[in-house]
Amino acid sequence: MADRYQLVIGGQLADAASGETFDSIDPSTGKAFATVGKGGAEDARRAAEAARKAFDQGPWPKMKGRERAAALLKVADLVKQNAGALAELEAKDAGHTIRMAKGADIGMVVSTFRVFAEIAAKENDEEPLARNPGSMNYVRYEGVCVGITPWNFPIQMAAWKIAPAIAAGNTVVIKPATYTPLTTLEIGRLCLEAGIPEGVVNVVAGSGAAVGEELVGSPLVDKVAFTGSTEVGRRIMELASSNIKKCTLELGGKSASVVLDDVDLDYAVDGAMWGVFFHNGQVCSAGTRLLVQRPIVDEFLAELTKRTEGIRVGPALDPASDEGPIESKTQLETVERYVGIGRDEGADVLTGGERAVVEGHEGGFYYRPTILGNVKSSMRVAQEEIFGPVLVVIPFEDEADAVAMANDSIYGLAGGVWSSDNGRAVKVAEQIRTGTVWINDYHMINPRYPFGGYKQSGIGREHGEMGFNEYRQVKHIHVDLGGPSRARHPWWDLTVPKREQPSAPGAETPGPKAPG
Ligand code: NAD
């Protein structure tokens, strides 16, 4: 593992223009372990210019989809070959347990590049349309993109932004989250190693205020794909409006896991824990609101609490750790503050509710998985995104009550329904206003299927054909094969004296209107 990381701009590894660097902190120890180039507005401008040049003058957008696909497959292979090193880096930089980094992150990155290679290979860059007599018509797809990513899944989010953007023939500048840029910089480097031409993939580490704002406001950029909080998403929309950029937004969530009374308890308790405590609840789609049908709530909670107490919290690189640290000291303090708010609102802490002490790693940012009972849907802990290992549990009476409570949120990202009766579960799922609902499972995100939010959870979809199309600009090209304009628009024939001009064929009033 290197101890110094550089930006990726215009096909080169580069220091920040200012020469400044910042330390990357390992949340398992609270100590610095590497330095990173601290990009600023000037680096963002250089990267946007490189991406623009690569799009306007470079080979990438002109290549066939299947040629781009071959390059994406090469990136996927390089990620696989470097899986161990990338997983360790994610564990150090972002606190992912090594089990999760190896078992989930790397696989998702590889399959994201592979799926978009497959889509690029089979999609036409030009779509022929019905041929009218005397003309041929087709749609051409084209588009410079910016991808801005959050700190919770750095390497996965880098793949989610880079793969579809470049598969569709665009060039891209990625701004990873301020304190977790290392694996994204490595993916940028591997894209160069895979032979992707200079300027097609650029990565600028740095703050949202300096790098992010410069990129989103840049007139050189056509599209922004943002993943992060709803609050910053609002700011992205404002900035993107400067030159009416296309935006897709993947924002926050406060998703509900609905447990119906006919459920297999063992299965659903296990699933509810996976839904909320996967990666310490630092997951946009986490099932942080557990709605349980009243007849089974006591038994369910007793089992859930017992099993939650068995979760081992420890250093990210220790294979015995079920949960690693919280990603930063700031986020640890946010989690603590919210548990305090819950207590003040009248919630009972059923387990957790405090920092975890990990022997030998006292400087790390650890928190015990926490369950809050006696919660009402109107409380702040049930309404606001905490983004940590905190579950609120609320009983409900019947399906209508569960649906109303699940929908009692400004967010609409995801959710789960647990039942032994699929028909009953589907009826509930259909009424929950979120982009995804999993039945008897959770977190099943697949790069082939669309993912995104309703309401304040976002605009647009990532993944699959729908995600791919978010990165394409549609242009209709009409090629006329029928001779001079006057032959088809007699009313426009400038060679005929005005008084003798015929009206348009088949029309009593003048022919086609000039475009609006
Ligand atoms: P954040 O909104 O604070 O930051 C996200 C990114 O935006 C970072 O790279 C940050 O540096 C950048 N940024 C901040 N201010 C900016 C500005 N003014 N202009 C341009 N860029 C700016 O989010 P976070 O704390 O990094 O991540 C957690 C949030 O992300 C949670 O709300 C979570 O739900 C959300 N998230 C959503 C999804 C999804 O798919 N819907 C996935 C993961 C995370």
Which one is catalytic: 88, 123, 250, 385?
A: 250
In a domain, 111, yes or no: yes
Q: Domain containing 141 — which CATH number?
A: 3.40.605.10
In a domain, 484, yes or no: no
The radius of gyration of the chain from alpha carbons, rounded to an integer in Å, stands at 26
Chain mean pLDDT for the chain? 94
Q: What is the pLDDT of residue 44?
A: 98
Q: Which residues form the domain of 234?
A: 4-251+463-474
In a domain, 515, yes or no: no
Residues 309 and 388 reside in one and the same domain:
yes
Rounding to the nearest 10 degrees, give the CA dihedral for residues 358, 360, 361, 367: 10
Residues 214 and 280 reside in one and the same domain:
no
CA-to-CA separations, 134 to 423, 450, 504, in angstroms, rounded:
54, 39, 17
| Rounded distance between C-alpha atoms, residue 184 and residue 229, angstroms | 19
β-partners of residue 371 are: 351, 391
The string of pLDDT tens digits covering residues 212-258 is: 999 999 999 999 999 999 999 999 999 999 889 999 999 999 999 99
In a domain, 126, yes or no: yes
Q: What is the pLDDT of residue 470?
A: 94
Q: What is the pLDDT of residue 514?
A: 43
Ligand 1 atom 9, closest CA: 177
The string of pLDDT tens digits covering residues 138-197 is: 777 766 899 999 999 999 999 999 999 999 999 999 999 999 999 999 999 999 999 999
Residues 269 and 120 reside in one and the same domain:
no
Best residue for ligand 1 mutational test, from 284, 333, 443 (most atoms within 8 Å of Cβ): 284
Residues 439 and 470 reside in one and the same domain:
no
Q: Give CB contacts under 8 A, 24+ apart, made by 78-83.
A: 78/190, 78/193, 78/194, 79/106, 79/109, 79/110, 79/113, 79/187, 79/190, 80/106, 80/110, 82/186, 82/190
Q: How many domains does the chain fold into?
A: 2
Q: Computed from CA positions of residues 259, 436, 457, 107, in that sequence, does the dihedral angle turn out positive or negative?
A: positive
In a domain, 496, yes or no: no
Q: What is the pLDDT of residue 248?
A: 97
Residues 239 and 281 reside in one and the same domain:
no
Residues 12 and 139 reside in one and the same domain:
yes
Tokens of 200: 């097609």
Q: What is the pLDDT of residue 496?
A: 74
In a domain, 495, yes or no: no
| Rounded distance between C-alpha atoms, residue 261 and residue 397, angstroms | 10
Best CA proximity match to 383, nearest among 260, 252, 226: 252
Residues 335 and 276 reside in one and the same domain:
yes
The string of pLDDT tens digits covering residues 379-411 is: 999 999 999 999 999 999 999 999 999 999 999
Residues 346 and 390 reside in one and the same domain:
yes
Q: What is the pLDDT of residue 511?
A: 42
Best residue for ligand 1 mutational test, from 93, 108, 148, 255 (most atoms within 8 Å of Cβ): 148
In a domain, 492, yes or no: no
Residues 299 and 213 reside in one and the same domain:
no
How would you label 69-83 residue by residue, b for 16+ Cβ within 10 Å and e otherwise? bebbbbbbebbeebb
Residues 412 and 470 reside in one and the same domain:
no
Protein residues with CB under 6 Å of any ligand 1 atom: 148-152, 175, 177-178, 207-209, 212-213, 216, 227-229, 232, 235-236, 250-253, 284, 385, 387, 413, 453, 458
In a domain, 194, yes or no: yes
Residues 203 and 296 reside in one and the same domain:
no
Q: Domain containing 299 — which CATH number?
A: 3.40.309.10
Residues 126 and 198 reside in one and the same domain:
yes
Which residue ranges in the chain fall short of pLDDT 70? 142-143, 498-516
